[in-house]
Amino acid sequence: MAHELANSARTARLLDQRAPVDTVRVVTDGRAVADIAGDMPAATGWVNCR
């Protein structure tokens, strides 16, 4: 488990350093997949795209 936590922290640092400034981040910790998916239309700008 310690290895996985260290890898996660390393990956987070890389994302902080390399992701474009307009990258949208969605909090996922402790959330159900359906709840996270519900945030995607607004996060991607797909709200009212009809």
Span 1-22, average pLDDT: 93
Is residue 49 a part of any domain in this protein? no
Q: What is the 3-state secondary structure (H, E, C) of the chain?
A: CHHHHHHHHHHHHHHHHHCCCCCCCCCCCCCCHHHHHHHHHHHHCCCCCC
Number of domains in the chain: 1
Task: Let me know if residue 50 belongs to a domain.
Answer: no
Q: pTM higher than 0.75, yes or no?
A: no
In tens, the pLDDT along 26-42 reads 889 999 999 999 888 88
Tell me the residue range of the domain where 23 lies: 2-44
**29 occurs within a structural domain:** yes
Whether 17 is covered by a domain: the verdict is yes
The answer to whether residue 23 sits within a structural domain is yes
- Which pLDDT value is given to residue 43? 84
